[in-house]
Structure 1
Amino acid sequence: MDWDCMVERTPDGIVVKPVGPLDLDSAAALRGVLQAAVKTGAHRVEVDLENVDFVDSTAIGVFVATRRAADDRAATFGLRNAGPMVRMVLQIANLTTLLAPDERPAAAAGSGA
């Protein structure tokens, strides 16, 4: 499946909705979309992972870099609607704090991170 992406502006910020795998082939495009979203000055940038069934380490790196860029601009960055496989990769990478609070595993939700 090829990668695609939609970007939606909401009252709370920007929601990026990728479709397809987030891997080495799509990482540069994803990075560009997320960098542009952060640079708009939005207070919140979210990635809706509803239509993503795979992420690899390059996508994880893009998420971490985007979180840092958002932090530098006093914005928030997060992930939502992660499916089971994506959630598992985030747990292995110890990045479940990027998930929306109501989607985090119990141990991560209580950490306040």
Structure 2
Amino acid sequence: MLKEFKTFIAQGNVLDLAIGVVIGAAFGKITTSLVDDIIMPIVNVLTGGGVTGGIVLKEATVDAAGKAVPAIAINYGNFLSVVINFFIIAFVLFLVVKAANKMKLTENNQIGV
């Protein structure tokens, strides 16, 4: 059983998947930084700085014991960042799949299939 597991792990598909997960995580950090540090500040300037905020439903308070109770808010700015991030990742994946399909088609044409 251990030998079978070793063979399974050594197969190219498992290694490709592991590499893909690591690269995907790194790409996610890059796109998050792109959205948060470059795109959203531009959007905030164009909209007067209101996109990063939210709607406060209940202000922050201090309870009877003196403990701070945080505010309750709908953070639409954060949601917008996540949506933009998603579309960037989806578009890049679309381009990668499109390029891979084009290469596959070109390889098939060269082989004569």
TM (norm. structure 1) is 0.23
Name the structure with the higher strand share.
1
Q: Higher RCO, 1 or 2 (CA under 8 Å, sep at least 6)? A: 1
Structure of greater Rg = 2
TM (norm. structure 2) is 0.23
Name the structure with the higher helix share.
2
